[in-house]
Chain A
């Protein structure tokens, strides 16, 4: 089975961020970038499918020059080939535009299954996966926690409010994955060496037959980023547990009025 995995290069979520002076972006200098956390699970799932059924695992990203590191990380885990869409025009696209670009990159590849993380931890949009499914005219299953492949179809579980849904999906399909679908492997040393030697195919929008206009540009405008409202440390209710608990309940009831 041939699997294509979309990956994104995002700031390490452990690191503090600084908002750029103009408020339009995050200061990238000194910031550590990694493969999006959920995408690691998508790569892992693809590798496990390949180990069971054969075929190839191709990783694709659309992003600036540094984003090749996300592809190298996926190759080090065991992916076979990598495509990097790199074009100055990408900066002006919204998530639908990025999905349009990824769809153009994926369409000519053999793809029985396209995997994505359920969201990217930088802008949390969770838009690209379903939009990609639309542009490739494929069915979708989102935020999937288990995936079993059958003949021409897959069975997927997803968590919804108060229940787990069991979906049957015709293949090829786009599936976005939750973190509990698997435990991603660490790259092996030979894997890391091989990743360094594997050529990464670099493509521009023109190579994919696209222009900035044909991707739809951006339908939304980022006005600015601000730090979240800071929470103040509140009151420590000291003393023996008995009286402290009584005081807590009194405050929650009488002052905060949440009880």
Chain B
């Protein structure tokens, strides 16, 4: 094999809650990392390679065991004070040389705020082929092939990485099953070198302001309750908050409530907001314009509650209730609470 040959290993870049190394409470990997480990196992088995977890941060030793339990055969730990918070430049400076030296078959990165920030920079630095927003990633006839939504989800593109060179796939959250946990599994843990001059980091995070309401990030939520123009005002989002609390769901919106200033921009689902792939999406007072569908039509089950039977949302909804959401949503909240309390009816 030539010096340029690529190994059969699949690498997974681990991500923590809030996209940085943990402070207090111990390391907590994000759901997307478990999903990437699940996908990596499948690809590594198909190629006959290993799953390698890569974790960067400060004081993150304990995470190695969690990566191993979820399928990593090998863990590369880059542990240094300069990596305590995610920065594009420090992270790229650590990961790029590792990639170039080991030449894995594929590096999987989650499509999160920092995954989308880092992956293209890494690709540019290493000359890796990059495919972002991957739904499926599979091995077909020895090639790695990914699918991704394009043209605001009006088409699905199938993209193959070339046979030669490094490859990075940025994978959407909630599209692959997380790897199961086996606490008995162990991995070879290797310390990765960190040679980062802090002065070379020209963009740094000086403050993180937690968004208190977001218990589950929208992009990771299994269930989303979402409101549209039909909510009629900011005060009525409390109805959705109550339903979401009963369901353990996250709350989102279509574009009009954001444009009207009822809810902040980070609520928005659709072409100009977030793309979500939950198991259940409950659309309340949302007409279902194509621009909204672009962000949520990948949901497994869609429930629409709208007073207009002609609303386009009913064309894609698995279940529809035509009626007044101000009447239906509180009833639904009550019924869900009853179910969760174990006394249906």
Contact = CB atoms under 8 A, between A and B. Distances in A.
Interface of B (DSSP majority class): mixed
Interface string A156-200: 001111111111111001000011100000000000000000000
Interface in B104-161: 112-114, 116-121, 123-125, 127-133, 145, 148-161
Given A222-B157, A231-B297, 19 more contacts: A131-B120, A131-B121, A158-B113, A161-B219, A162-B211, A163-B208, A167-B204, A169-B202, A179-B265, A219-B165, A220-B161, A228-B153, A234-B318, A234-B320, A241-B321, A248-B332, A252-B319, A253-B339, A259-B247
Interface stretch (B64-72, B189-197, B309-317): B309-317
B186 interface: no
A138 B201 CA distance: 10
A165 B207 contact: yes
A215 B7 CA distance: 25
Given A26-B151, A124-B149, A228-B155, A166 B265 contact: no
Given A159-B113, A161-B220, A180-B265, A223 B161 contact: no
A210 interface: no
B99 interface: no
A17 B202 contact: no
A163 B300 contact: no
A26 B152 CA distance: 13
A126 interface: yes
Contact of A168 (B206, B209, B316): B206
B157 A224 contact: yes
A145 interface: yes
Name the residue among A138, A163, A222 with the largest chain B CB count within 10 angstroms: A163
B123 A249 contact: no
18 contacts: A19-B155, A26-B155, A96-B123, A127-B130, A143-B113, A158-B113, A160-B114, A167-B206, A219-B130, A219-B161, A220-B131, A222-B157, A223-B160, A228-B156, A236-B321, A241-B328, A249-B336, A258-B280
B83 to A, nearest CB: 16
B148 A124 contact: yes
Interface in A89-139: 94-96, 99, 121-131, 133-135, 138-139
Interface of B: 17-19, 30, 88-89, 92, 112-114, 116-121, 123-125, 127-133, 145, 148-162, 165, 167, 202-211, 214, 217, 219-220, 222-223, 247, 258, 265-266, 271-272, 279-280, 290-291, 294, 297, 300-303, 309, 314-324, 327-328, 331-332, 335-336, 339, 344-345
Interface of A (DSSP majority class): mixed
Contact of A164 (B211, B272, B294): B211
Contacts of B300: 258
Name the residue among B209, B279, B294, B319 with the largest chain A CB count within 10 angstroms: B319
Contacts of A124: 132-133, 148-150, 152
Contacts of B127: 96, 216, 219
A167 B205 contact: yes
A246 B332 CA distance: 8
A139 B202 contact: yes
A33 to B, nearest CB: 12
A134 B127 CA distance: 11
Given A245-B321, A259-B336, A17 B155 contact: yes
Nearest to B278: A258
Interface residues of A, number: 84
Interface of A: 11, 13-14, 16-17, 19, 26, 37, 94-96, 99, 121-131, 133-135, 138-143, 145, 155, 158-170, 173, 178-180, 216, 218-228, 231, 233-238, 241-242, 244-246, 248-253, 256, 258-259
Contacts of B327: 241
A163 B16 CA distance: 13
Contacts of A219: 127-130, 161-162, 165, 167
Given A220-B161, A233-B315, A245 B113 contact: no
